[in-house]
Amino acid sequence: MGLHFGNLGIRVRGVVSFAISPYEQRAMAGFLSRGFPNLIRRFNGQAFIIGPPLIASYLYYDYINTKAEEMSRKNPADFAADV
């Protein structure tokens, strides 16, 4: 069985692997006819799931920043007697 390094005698039965030659592959096959419409379909399917929480989070963030700016302003009436 040749039990030296690189040939340890381990045999795996029932495993079949397939490979395609790089010369037989077509990487951009069907990109415009199938890929782009599939992208639009997937986007439309997820837009109403992702969009509303994203918009609500932005509005909440904007509201909190506006409130923080208002609270950090000084009131000029408090310093009218400090001449």
Residue 8 lies in a domain: no
Residue 48 lies in a domain: yes
Mean pLDDT of 2-29: 73
Residue 10 lies in a domain: no
pLDDT for position 8: 61
User: How many distinct structural domains can be found in the chain?
Assistant: 1
Residue 40 lies in a domain: yes
Residue 3 lies in a domain: no
At residue 5, does pLDDT exceed 90? no
The answer, as to whether pTM is greater than 0.85, is no
Residue 13 lies in a domain: no
Residue 56 lies in a domain: yes
At residue 3 the predicted structure's pLDDT band, cuts being 50, 70 and 90, is low
Q: What's the maximum distance between 2 C-alpha atoms anywhere in the chain?
A: 100
- Residues of the domain holding 57: 35-71
Cα separation of 53 and 56, whole Å? 5
Residue 20 lies in a domain: no
